[in-house]
Structure 1
């Protein structure tokens, strides 16, 4: 089924139970649960280990720059990377 066909089928099924408040509450609850599940799946979380590695790498780069082993980036180059 295409998305449009699924959408039409969903509304057809909802129209069947539209007069029954109890069934409509169950339907809303089920759809809400599915929507929250989708939001959770789409949210990308960065783990603590990845965050700490990133901080560590940044601090090492700053230290190397201060010691003169790494040429500092020009602000223009930094903005171009962004």
Structure 2
């Protein structure tokens, strides 16, 4: 679905408290979340405005977002 919110808090509703605790305790984890959410906002903006971007470039952005989400989940599940 175009323009759907994929922010970390939205993607992991059961981990809200843990996300906040880790973000406050670990600057690298906080940076990872911020990078993911910034990329998600960029993707949603491109989708909603139908900005000119090639399909391969959009796929690359989405793959980067998935990679970041996977890394966040990995850190959440191992803490």
TM-score of the two chains, using structure 2 as the length reference:
0.37
Larger radius of gyration: 1
- Greater RCO (CA < 8 Å, at least 6 residues apart): 2
| TM-score, length of structure 1 as denominator length | 0.36
